[in-house]
């Protein structure tokens, strides 16, 4: 029977231990960073949509304002949908890794129960 390795004490050692072993998954933390980075990119795209609609309004003039309003509306709707899809994508990965951690805990409980008898 494989005996689990002892975890070192102290925050830097423990983080390094978690990074080098697979006893605790750190991917959920990384997914949070990726989520915020993705939201930043979507925010830049939103500013691009607003800039494009202002550019259309200036270039077309007169009735072009209606075209610019349509570009702005469709663009911001697309940005909103992108935010929702990005959130769902990241939540999916967090859920998958949470299931993995839960299964790891259950496996440890079963092994402890078998060894206790």
What are the distances in angstroms from CA 15 to CA 24, 25, 96?
10, 11, 22
Mean pLDDT of the chain: 85
For 88-111, the pLDDT digits (tens) are 999 998 888 888 888 888 888 888
User: Dihedral sign, CA of 15, 21, 22, 28?
Assistant: positive
Q: Give the start-to-end residue ranges of the domains of the chain.
A: 30-111
């Amino acid at each position: 029977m494989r005996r689990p390795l002892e975890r070192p004490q102290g925050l830097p050692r423990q983080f390094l231990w978690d990074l080098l072993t697979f006893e605790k998954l750190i991917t959920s933390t990384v997914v949070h960073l990726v989520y915020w980075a993705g939201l930043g990119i979507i925010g830049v795209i939103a500013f691009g949509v607003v800039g494009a609609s202002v550019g259309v309004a200036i270039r077309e003039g007169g009735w072009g304002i209606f075209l610019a309003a349509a570009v702005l509306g469709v663009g911001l709707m697309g940005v909103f949908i992108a935010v929702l899809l990005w959130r769902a994508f990241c939540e999916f990965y967090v859920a998958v890794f949470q299931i993995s951690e839960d299964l790891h805990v259950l496996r440890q409980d079963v092994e402890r129960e078998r060894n206790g008898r």
